[in-house]
Amino acid sequence: MTGSERRSEGRDRLSLASFGFFLILIGAIILITPNYYNEFSAFIRDFQLVKVASNVFLPAPKSSHPVVYTALMEFCIVYGLFQIAILICRFALRDPVDKKAETVSGIVFWLGAGYLLSILSAGNIGWFAFLAGLVIFIGLAIFVRSFITLSFQVVRRAR
């Protein structure tokens, strides 16, 4: 087995560990959130079409659902922190820059989504502001990943 094959296995194991943690965390959040099934069911049933422009209608919940928002916030924050641990492992295993950049972009997205959900659950922003913030964090995550990857390529070419 060559060194590159060993590194490839390590990447697969980290991705698998990340997916396993994702599933375990979903189960844990459901277990520790009181009445989660009823709250989530009420959240799904609460959607209605809201007019946002002359002929544009988008789905939005009629009322606030802080229990669901808080559970999702806890998930995002814990998973974002786990991604930091994955990033440390990626450095320790000397994974390629694209994998590290992917993990950093995941950190940006998950912690950003957790922050947005925290202010949504507190009632400081509305549903559409939350969605707009999510789009911003998706764009920021893509930008960060691209910036890290391109920066590394520029530094590598300069050598």
In the structure, what pLDDT confidence band is assigned to residue 159 with cuts at 50, 70 and 90?
Answer: confident
DSSP for residue 49: E
- Joined tokens for residue 72: 């999702």
Phi first, then psi: what are they for 59, rounded to 5°? -75, 140
Contact in structure between 76 and 117 (CB atoms under 8 Å): yes
Encoding tokens for residue 37?
Answer: 């099934």
One-letter amino acid for residue 90 of the chain: R
pTM: 0.88
Determine the pLDDT at residue 12: 64
Looking at per-residue pLDDT, the higher value among 15 and 85 belongs to 85
pLDDT tens for 107-135 read 999 999 999 999 999 999 999 999 999 99
d(CA 33, CA 139): 30
Measure the CA–CA gap between 1 and 22, rounded to whole angstroms: 30
DSSP secondary structure code for residue 46 in this structure: T
pLDDT of residue 156: 83
CA distance 46 to 57: 16
Which of 5-14, 42-51, 60-69, 130-139 comes out lowest in average pLDDT?
5-14
Rounded to a whole number of angstroms, the distance between the first and last alpha carbons of the chain is 30
d(CA 28, CA 78): 11
